[in-house]
Structure formats: C-alpha cells, structure tokens
Amino acid sequence: MTNKMWGGRFASAPAGIMEEINASIDFDKRLFAQDIAGSKAHCEMLADTGIISREDADAIHQGLDTIASEIEAGKFTFSRALEDVHMNIESRLNELIGSTAGKLHTARSRNDQVATDFRLYIRDAIDQLDALLGGLQSALADRAHEHAATIMPGFTHLQTAQPVTFGHHCLAYVEMLARDRGRFIDARKRANESPLGAAALAGTSFPIDRGMTAKALGFDGAAANSLDAVSDRDFVLETLSAASITAVHLSRLSEEIVIWSSAGFNLLTLSDKFTTGSSIMPQKRNPDAAELVRAKTGAVFGAFTQLLIVMKGLPLAYSKDMQEDKVPAFTALDALSLMLVAMTGMVADMEPNVAAMRKAAAAGHSTATDLADWLVRTLDMPFRDAHHVTGELVALAETQSIGLSRLTLEDMQAVEPRITDEVFSILSVQNSVKSRKSYGGTAPSNVRKQARGWIKRLEKEATSG
C-alpha cells in the first residue's frame, strides 16, 4: 500500500528498510506545537484571502485544537508509517473532519512547513536558554557581591600570578555569559523570518499573504527568496555555534570547580547536593556534577560539527539530508539547558575556603608585580629595570625559602639601595587587591560596584522579560 499523502506517483510500497531510514517521527514529534501553530496561521490566511472557505477554516481550526489536546494529554498515537509530525497531524485531522483536512496543505509544502516549524522551535529554545543564562549570571553576581573582598590567587598557566578576589573571578564569568546571551539574541534576530508560503522551492501561484502568516507567528517578516527559505539551516548552525561557545565557558568553570575542590587546592567545597561518593573509597567526595557539565560540552560541539557536515555539500534547494538537522539540534540544546541548570545550582552551592584561598594567594611571590610597580612610582625607575630588580629579589627570597615580604630591608637594599621600608606596605595580598582600582580591576570597591550593577540589571531583565 502506498502512502496516501504522496503516493500517487508510486505503484508499490517502499522497501521495509525505507521506513526505517526515512521516518523522522521518532524525533520530530516534539515539534507538534510549532507545527499546529504554523498550520493555524496558514489556515487563517487561506480563509482571509478566499482560497478556502471560512467554514472549512473553522473546521480545520477545531480539528487542530483537538489534536493539540490529544497530544498534550498523551492520547495521540504517532505512526512511523506516516513518516513525520506533519503527516501524522494531517492524517489525524482527516479522521476528525474528513477530506476538508486536505485543503490545509494548499499553497504550502512540507519543505516550507518544516522550515517554519524549526525556526519557531529554535526561537523558543533561544528564549529559554536566555532565561537560564540570566539565572546563572544572577547566581554568579550574588556570589561576587558576597565575596567582593575574599582574596584568592589569580592564575596564569595554572601558576599563582597575582592576588585577586573571588568576587572578581565570578564576575569574569558574568561577562562571558553576557556575550553568550548577545550571540543567541543575534542568532534569534536572523532566525526570525518566515519561510511559510515558499512552498516546495519556487513559491506558489495562489494569492497568499505571506506577511499575514509571518505576523501571526511573531516573525519580523517573510523570507525574501523561496529557494533560500526552504534550503538553508544557517539559523540552526548559528544557534549551535553560540551554544558551543557557551559550553566552552561552562566547561572552563567546571574545570575550575573540579580543580579547586580537589585536596591539592582545597579552595572551595561543594555540598552533598552536587557531589557523589565512591563505591570503594569511603572518604571520597567527587565533583560529578561539574565533571558531567564538562563532559556534555562534547555533545554540543559534536552537534554543531555534525550539522556543518550535513549542510556543506547540498545543492539548492531541499534535500532529504536536511532531515538530519533536528537530532543534533535537539541533543545540543537539551544538553546545554541541563548544563546551565546544573551550573546555576553549583554556583549557589559552592563555599569558598576563605583561609585557604588567602594563604594560596600569598604563595608564589604573588605580589612581585606590586613591588615592581612601587619601584616605578617611588623611584621613577623604568618598568623594565624595575622588573629586573624585582626578579633579583624574588630569586633571593627563593634561595632563603621565604616570601618577598619576609626579606629584610638590608637584603633589598643590597639589590637596590634606594628601597625604603615603605615597600613592605605594598607586599601584602590585601593591599595588593585593594590597589587594583583601574576600571575592571579586582579592587573590592570595584567588585562591589560591578556586582551591584549586574544584580540590578539582571533583576530588571527578569521583571520585564
């Protein structure tokens, strides 16, 4: 038996394996809400332009409402024989209202239908991700304000570099996530045009109003070229690109949580809510949530790469290859949503070990740059010369196995005679971070101001959004 939806051209049924490779209903059924919304808008336009009668349109609307209720209630049976979500809904509509259901497909194709559904889905997904990103920013900004003066080591090459504050470190990720949100918002703008009415590839001879359907579905307008409208998935690629960069940021923070919570660093602790134990070692507390966020980054990267490969060799317009666009997108965006929720929980849960952070910040001659800066300011020494003098003093401290601040004034004057005892006032980690008042610096006063600004901005977004 041939498929009633498209089988007029074919005399026999497809091979059994064809159903296995051709069917997409197992994954595209999650587009049912978008598909029904698109069908309603198309139906209303067909009636308003006189292409179908108002009576037929009312019957179609009622049938689509019934189908939506059935799916939401879990009472709808999806059939693989009907291939996809579009045909499953149309088939059920035919059962409910008879042959009038067939009029719904006037002046459209599954090509523009699926492109419309997918754009609606991506738009919804971006809105949900933006809310989750804002929630994570809020959690980080709250911790930044709470720990604006909590001193910790700042690292380069994972080596102690200069003292910073934990609040400053948290705000670094707030800034990264703000750019992530900006990329998603930009992607949403470009995704927000309607393919509906492009039909298979060439448009239609029916007197449709594409502007009407675009407006009804919340699009900024209709896609200007019918070939482009049905044949590109750059709006998905751009979204997955933004998702991949976001995942990088989440993975980096996860890596830091894993490192900092290890016994070797002992800079912070996660509670039982976000850790697990060992089946054999009773003392273990493993940061599994952070490790899994780090690992799920691979699923996001893989999805982006997969879709790039699918699209790279396709001539215009639509090819069946493009059916393979949805699984990677669903996989990546689901994974990213889960990662964001988990990370927001960990940020709120983690407790800095303040004493250990401060002790680690003082190690490794972390105030050496402060000493070099003091030489420049006080002795009018060129920075390169100050850098050299400071390097000699660091080497001297290392030969004595002590920190810079424990060198005697005589030791320092042996290297640079003009050094006075004033130098000791700038060698503490507390004074170091306090002095970093340049815009964007780690001074607690800066961090408090920045954190308050972000908290206020994010609260306003949440209220208005």
Which residues are tagged catalytic?
157, 278
Count how many Cα atoms sit within 13 Å of the Cα of residue 158 in the half-sphere of its side chain.
Answer: 7
Q: What is the 3-state secondary structure (H, E, C) of the chain?
A: CCCCCCHHHCCCCCCHHHHHHHCCHHHHHHHHHHHHHHHHHHHHHHHHCCCCCHHHHHHHHHHHHHHHHHHHCCCCCCCHHHCCHHHHHHHHHHHHHHHHHHHHHCCCCHHHHHHHHHHHHHHHHHHHHHHHHHHHHHHHHHHHHHCCCCEEEEEECCEEEEEEEHHHHHHHHHHHHHHHHHHHHHHHHHHCCECCCCCCCCCCCCCCCHHHHHHHCCCCCECCCHHHHHHCCHHHHHHHHHHHHHHHHHHHHHHHHHHHCCCCCCCEECCHHHCECCCCCCCCCECHHHHHHHHHHHHHHHHHHHHHHHHCCCCCCCCHHHHHHHHHHHHHHHHHHHHHHHHHHHHHHCEECHHHHHHHHHCCCCCHHHHHHHHHHHHCCCHHHHHHHHHHHHHHHHHCCCCHHHCCHHHHHHHCCCCCHHHHHHCCHHHHHHHCCCCCCCCHHHHHHHHHHHHHHHHHHHHHC
Report the candidate in 462, 404, 464, 395 with the shortest Cα–Cα distance to residue 432: 404
Alpha carbons 360 and 259: distance in angstroms, whole number: 14
* Nearest Cα residue to 226 out of 336, 354, 116, 368: 116
